[in-house]
Amino acid sequence: MKIKCPKCKGNADLAPDFTLVTCQDCNLEMSYGEYVKYVAHNDVTYSDILGDYAGSTEGQTAGTLDEWD
């Protein structure tokens, strides 16, 4: 499967079993978990998903039920 390379913005390949991301253009090779974290840290569009994959959500607040009204 083709996905966007987070390093060179070219086409990267995602292994069929979702374990490895590779890019022939810039020689990127990382696990899919590392890819998700890298994209979440470096692209503000996806930064909201970081809490799902990272152990720390430092700097983020969940709010209170009173704030949900």
- 32 touches 19 (CB < 8 A): yes
pLDDT tens-digit series, residues 21-54: 999 999 999 999 899 888 877 776 666 665 555 5
- 12 touches 5 (CB < 8 A): yes
SS3 content of the chain, % helix, strand, coil (to 5): 35, 20, 40
Note the pLDDT of residue 20: 95
Share of the chain above pLDDT 70, in %: 62
Question: What 3-state DSSP class applies to 3?
Answer: strand
Share of the chain above pLDDT 90, in %: 45
Picking from 67, 14, 5, 17, the residue whose alpha carbon sits closest to that of residue 42 is 5
Question: How many angstroms separate the most distant Cα atoms in the chain?
Answer: 50
